[in-house]
Amino acid sequence: MLLFILTFYITHAVLQISIGALVTDYTSTSLLLEVFSSLQGAIDSAELQANAEVQTNLIIEYLPVLPNADYWFIPESFAYNQIKILIDLTGHIEFSQFIASQAVLYNFLHIVDNRPLATMLGEIPGSNTLYTYPCSKNEAEALYTLVKHFGWKNIGLIYDDSISNYHMANYFKNFFGSTDWIKEEIQFDEDYIKHPEILKDRLLSTTANSQAKIMVVMTNPVLASSLLKAADQAGLGFSGYAWILNSDAMENLSQTLYNSNTATPIEHLGVSITGVIGLQADFSALSTKDTFEGLTSVLALAFTGISQLEYPYGTSIINYIKTHPNERGLPEIYFTSIRTRKLTYHIYNIVKYSMVQVGYYNLITKAIELFNNATIIWPGSETFPPDSKTLPLKLVFLVPSSSDPQSKYIKNGLELAVSQINADSTFSTYFQLLPIYQEPFPPIHSIIEYNIKVLESYNVIGYIGPSSADIGLLYAKSLSSDIEIKPLVSYGISESSLSNTLSYPCFLRTIMHDGYQASAVIMFLVYIDRSKIALLYTEDSAGKIMYDTFISISKTMSTDIANDEDKRRIRVLLNEDGSISSTTKDDIHVALKDVVRKKLKIIVFLGNKIVSAELAKQIYERELHGDDYALIGSIWLDDTVWEYIDNFYSGWKDEIFNVLDGAITLAQSGVKGTIGQKFAEDFLDEYDMNYTTEALLAYDTVYLYAKTLKSMIENSQNVHNGQELLNALRRTDFLGASGKVVFQADTNDRSSYGYKVVNLRKNGQFVTIFTFNPQDVILFSQEPGSQLLWHNGILSTPHDSWNTTFDCPFAEHMQKISTKGVIIIISIGFFLFVLTLFLSLFSYKKWRQIKIIKITKPVIRSVKDTLVEVQIAVEFFQFMAIAPTFKSLEIVVQSASNIFMLDILKVAQSQKQSYWILLIVVCTICFFWFVFVAIISTNIEHYVKKIPYCQRIIGILNNTYLPFFGNTMFLPFTALMLDAFICDHSAQGHDFVWRDCYMQCWGNDHIPYIILSSFAIIVYEPVAVFIRPLWQQASTGLNLKIRPFFLLFKTCMQILLIAFGKSLQGISPLAHGVVFTVLFITFVAVTIKVKPFNYNRCNLWEISSLIAITYMSILATISYNASPESIAWFIALIVGWLIIIAITMFIQRKYMPDLLVSPNRKKTRRSLKDVFSKGKVENYNEEATPGIVTAKEPTVVYEKNEESPSCLRDDKSFSVDVREVDENYNAN
């Protein structure tokens, strides 16, 4: 910088001029391109115009503007080259101020090009600084003078986003002082040029209805051309309107309009062809306008001055330029006292695409001078200027975005009210409503506050809208915190939190708050006499307030909300495309899963209808629909839901409509009375569409303002005082199109005017059934000719509970056959049968040589003989448990037979989950049984007996425990362990265990039981089958014997019956009955043929019991095709069984004497110590009845280290031949 100071004042012998051009990151891209392509040419052109002996050196520097002004500097290259002129193209006002100060300090010429002086932003021109652009204030003053010349007041101001036009618009507004003159203000950007339809809609929504008729336009010519064309399309370019354009907009406008309208019929053109009036500056009259036109003229004068001045520095150069505006034939260029360019403005009128000069703006007198012979042609080819004398009262209409389907209805409702009010002398005598339409801003508090500040400059008296709760909350909060509050009356925000007058003192609404919906729903439940419900709600503002209200009211009612409290909420989150997010879907899934588990039939939904389609879809998937169900909700179904279904659920449309058939939804109450009917007719006539609730409430909201304003003016109140207007609105009471409009005390809410109760039909048609009016004695008034129809047109309301008890976590109708589960159980059954058959054949080869001696003479009955007889009865009930039965006998038969199938828990009506406890117990018994079998089979018992008291225990286990669980309990144990695999039914998309429908098949909880049962079957079933005939051969003191063949055949038949029973009973009871009956008849036939027992009475009892089972099976199978519940089947069964018992008793008494005689002997008292004494087992048959054969056990004494007899070892020395009994008997 020191080099700059030392060298700047050096006088050159040769006239060389160094020029610096400075650009920054704030310089526009288009200007940068011009700088590098055209700036040198502009300087060369200035040299030619100056006609002086000068040589220029252009230095272009790019300098980023640092945020801290302390670090700003002039590039060193400028100092090094001793620049005399610095061309400022930075585009940064503060940095330009810094350069201006440096120009004064170092005395060089500072030229600011391509932007005007920004006094609105605090820019102060430096003494060595020139501005090649005119100050926007001069042209703004010319436009202001033109407007005042014609006496216009109602003005619409339109400008683009360029700096010069933005400043010009602000200067223009400041000249008026009062904002009452400016009715509308719109700022456009160049993007609107690409979207003429949007441009037209914006003009319509923000200008056409504001009653602004004088449109002042400050834009570039291309945007101005698009605006004029849009004005014609919107009806704003004809009689009654004036369009005033600034010099930028007028540049070559006539040619631009001609080119853009060549394809448009002339009858459709208005101001686009004739009627524009505007200013043109001197340089605007040229055929072309170069980017650096002003700079070239200034440089030419500067070069001339430098060549003539003795000391050509900044101050002297500026003085020369200002005092020699037309030196040596150069283009004239004038500057103001603050060194901004001064232009002369001419007034032109476009008539049929031709520019006609009609006057000019006198810079000295600051007046409009029109030519005497000039006639201005206005839009519509009128020769008289339009009249704009009205008294405006501005209301801001916060309307939805144009993309919102409800937007056009709401706008139409507002527009209809405004047009009727302004045409009605009742109101127009006092005022004219001028709405300012605004589409939503982003819901950001700072943006909303800024918008309110901007709107304050328009002197608005109040706001109507919006319909969006999040934006409405921000407006209500911002307006309430403002120094001078303005009323905000919403037609669409029903969120209950806005009811609080302390939090939102400036807010009112003509729509009822959401809490009223919950009241209507719960009262409807009372009306239809249903109390047990599932309650779901959305976790948004509307859903939560409805839920809280519902809960509060339900405490005073008998309403039973049966689903879990933590499974009622549904979070509302959407994807970017507007579809339901996975979070919301998961919440609905969890909520409905609990409804299924609780088996609830009345589903009540409160909240956001955006989730209604997904809710209905999942209700379908969850099978919570049909004649037994009812869906009731707040305002959760309407035409917008159908649109949402079309967009995101088109593949589920039929299923969703089927679910919603008969559903109940609330709807906002429609028009009421003659006023309402007239509104409906006017709306239809004017817009060729039926009104919506939002349009109706918007219409009444405008009339609320109108009636309030009229009353205030009549009472000499200040309508511009926001607090007075708000108080007056709260007091207003009138009959509107939607009914009585009156506000509740101490709230921001309109008094409830009721809802419609709407019934949905399968085709998606909404039918109003009732009108709910909380202020009426009769809460629900049925619409004439209407009828409430539930699903499939059923008249009776579904019950809120099921008629039958079904102990499962889902309703009975939801269970279905599982093909996978059936295949698995059939496969397991087939495997067990094949295994059993193989083991039985193998076992039979070992035991078939055993001969069973028939009992023909009396023998002494032993306890073991009695157990064999009891086993016949036990097996009878076991077979009954797996046989088909009918409903009338089911409870009795199942209870009795299940005892002998070891299903004690089922008899006791325990929970289904208790089956798993029983399974663990049975599996444990099987494991212990297998271990004991292994111990005895491998001689390990020899070592165990050496332990005190174990010898007697081993004997008891050997003779009682092992045969009982291996033989008698074979059928129930096998059946119970196999039940763990039965998953032949599914519900809610998952297979469940037949014995416990709360257990999901093949899940983490089920697998451990599957493993346990599998191991138990593996260790128990093969061994039990193989050694089943052994127990009777090894049992001493046993008279009753069974043929080994029959034991093995019965084992195979039991496995076969279990397999078929488990496979078919749940799928087709009829098929199960047929198969069971055929198999059992075969079993009976074989039993009759084989005569398995060596005692006739036992054969008779066995055959009779099997015939009784067969008879029951035949009856049950037949009943499946008739009426299973009929008591006749039970009577037939009892009669048949009595006949079988009678025949059995007759045969037994007639032909089969009792050959098992009870022993007549004295029982010996023995102590517990004697029972478990070590070393000897005594013979208890000390005395025998004379004349009776005694099956006397030999006395056996076991000494130390001597092996005891084992029933499982193949030791012939301990085998018992039953023929010995007969020999003893003959000997005696």
**Where in the sequence of the chain do the CATH 3.40.50.2300 domains occur?**
2-134+294-341, 136-287+343-388, 393-511+673-750, 515-670+756-793
Please write the tens of the pLDDT for every residue from 943-985.
666 666 666 666 666 666 667 777 777 778 888 888 888 888 8
Residue 913 has pLDDT above 50, yes or no: yes
- pLDDT of amino acid 1208: 44
DSSP letter for 783, please. P
How far apart CA 237 and CA 264 sit, in angstroms, is 15
First to last CA, the chain: 149
- Tell me the pLDDT of the chain averaged across its residues: 82
Q: Which amino acid is at 481?
A: S
User: Which residue, among 169, 355, 340, has the nearest Cα to 254 in the 3D structure?
Assistant: 355
| Spatial separation of the C-alpha atoms in residues 627 and 611, rounded to whole Å | 23
Alpha helices in 457-506 (DSSP H): 469-481
Q: Which pLDDT does position 1051 carry in this prediction?
A: 80
**pLDDT above 90 as % of the chain:** 30
Top mean-pLDDT range of 629-643, 764-778, 810-824: 629-643
Predicted local distance difference test score (pLDDT) of residue 358: 92
Angular region, 245: left φ>0, alpha ψ -120 to 50, beta rest: beta
Between 836 and 681, the more confident residue is 681
Closest CA to 954 of 940, 968, 969: 940
Distance CA 1135, CA 44 (A): 130
pLDDT tens digits for 1167-1219?
433 433 443 333 334 344 444 444 444 333 333 333 333 444 444 333 334 33
Residue 1146 CB partners (closer than 8 Å, separation 6+) = none
Under 8 Å between Cβ of 601 and 802:
yes
Number of H helices, E strands in the chain: 42, 38
Rounded distance, CA 422 to CA 208, Å?
14
Lowest-pLDDT range of 394-398, 772-776, 1159-1163, 1202-1206:
1202-1206
Select, from the ranges 124-128, 384-388, 962-966, the one with the highest average predicted confidence (pLDDT).
124-128
pLDDT at 707 over 90: yes
Res 454 pLDDT > 50: yes
Q: What is the pLDDT of residue 11?
A: 44
| pLDDT at residue 956, rounded to an integer | 62
For residues 794 and 667, is the Cβ–Cβ distance under 8 A?
no
pLDDT given for residue 1192 in this prediction: 42
Fold assignment, 393-511+673-750: Rossmann fold (3.40.50)
Residues 6 or more apart in contact with residue 371 via CB below 8 angstroms:
357, 358, 359
- What SS3 string covers 1174-1187? CCEECCCCCCCCCC
> Of the candidates 748, 873, 903, 833, which has an alpha carbon nearest to the alpha carbon of residue 1079?
833
Backbone angles phi, psi at 649, to 5 degrees: -135, 35
Q: How far apart are the C-alpha atoms of 100 and 608, rounded to whole Å?
A: 61
Highest mean pLDDT among 200-209, 697-706, 949-958, 991-1000: 697-706
User: 332: Cβ–Cβ under 8 A, 6 or more apart, which residues?
Assistant: 325, 326
Coil, strand or helix at 533: strand
In angstroms, the Cα distances linking 528 to 514, 558, 783, 792 are 22, 13, 16, 18
> Which fold would CATH assign to domain 515-670+756-793?
Rossmann fold (3.40.50)
Q: How high is the pLDDT of residue 1039?
A: 81
Identity of the highest mean pLDDT range in 449-458, 939-948, 1105-1114: 1105-1114
**Taking 50 as the threshold, does the pLDDT of residue 86 lie above it?**
yes
Region of 225 on the Ramachandran plot (φ > 0 left; ψ -120 to 50 alpha; else beta): alpha
Token duo for residue 1051: 């084992």
Cα separation, 225 vs 269, in Å, equals 12
What residues have CB less than 8 Å from 543, skipping those under 6 apart?
Answer: 537, 569, 570, 572, 606, 607, 608
CATH class of the region 136-287+343-388: alpha beta
Enclosing H/E stretch for 823 = helix 819-847
Neighbouring C-beta atoms of residue 68, cutoff 10 Å? 6
3-class SS of residue 435: strand
The pLDDT confidence band at residue 652, using thresholds 50, 70 and 90, is: very high
Residue 234, H or E segment: helix 221-234
Q: How far apart are CA 140 and CA 19, in angstroms?
A: 33
CATH code that applies to domain 2-134+294-341: 3.40.50.2300
CA distance 156 to 20: 43
Q: How far apart are CA 511 and CA 748, in angstroms?
A: 11
* 1004 or 2, higher pLDDT: 1004
Least confident of 1-10, 403-412, 1107-1116, 1155-1164: 1-10
Count of positions (residues) in the chain: 1228
Q: How many CB atoms lie within 10 A of CB 720?
A: 15
Question: Which runs of consecutive H residues, i.e. helices, occur in 261-371?
Answer: 293-308, 314-323
Distance CA 339, CA 134 (A): 9
Distance CA 727, CA 715 (A): 14
Any idea which of 466-475, 690-699, 978-987, 1201-1210 has the lowest mean pLDDT?
Answer: 1201-1210
Please tell me the distance from the alpha carbon of residue 347 to that of residue 369, in angstroms, as a whole number: 9
The pLDDT score that the predictor gives to residue 1178 is 38
Residue with tokens 């004005």: 231
**What region does 752 belong to: left with phi over 0, alpha with psi -120 to 50, or beta?**
beta
| Distance separating alpha carbons of residues 217 and 257, to the nearest angstrom | 15
Q: 61, 117, 65, 73: which is closest to 92 by C-alpha?
A: 65
Q: What's the pLDDT score for residue 835?
A: 81
* Helices marked H in 940-1068: 941-944, 950-956, 962-963, 970-979, 1006-1027, 1030-1034, 1044-1064
Give mean pLDDT, residues 11-28: 80
Q: Token pair 């004697």 is at which residue? A: 1170
